[in-house]
Structure 1
Amino acid sequence: MKPRGPVTIEEIDEALADLAALMRAHGEQGMEYLPIFERLERERERLVDVDARIDAALARRSSRRRSPPSPCRVTV
């Protein structure tokens, strides 16, 4: 069996939707799946946070490349 790559936000979103439908379909008993649902939500937020931080770092780099470098001042 070929190893998988990392789980994507889209895959987590699909799992959350499937799990939410299962929970609703089973009424009160479906709440047994709440810990799994909450774990998936935490993992999704973690991935979104990493993506946002990476995007922010790339944006900072891009903005520095477009603006002229600031002069370096040395005080003695």
Structure 2
Amino acid sequence: CDGAYSYRNNKTAYGGLLINHIGMYAWGFARSLEANSIVQTKLWGIFHGLRLALAKGFTHICITLDSS
């Protein structure tokens, strides 16, 4: 999961990838939203990614984020 914030237009977006047990791409997602901070945006990305992973039948989930 990752999130981004544009200071120019005050908008945020997040996205992520779901990778299967052999490291192959399974699903991706991206959304824009109104959020107050990049931390809030990244948390929405985690939430959306977890919901998608569970809906697609993933049972072992590892979340990876960058620190910036």
Q: TM-score range by the shorter chain?
A: 0.3 to 0.5
The higher radius of gyration belongs to 1
Structure in which a larger fraction of residues adopt strand: 2
Structure in which a larger fraction of residues adopt helix: 1
Query: TM-score, structure 2 length as denominator?
Result: 0.37
Query: TM-score, structure 1 length as denominator?
Result: 0.34
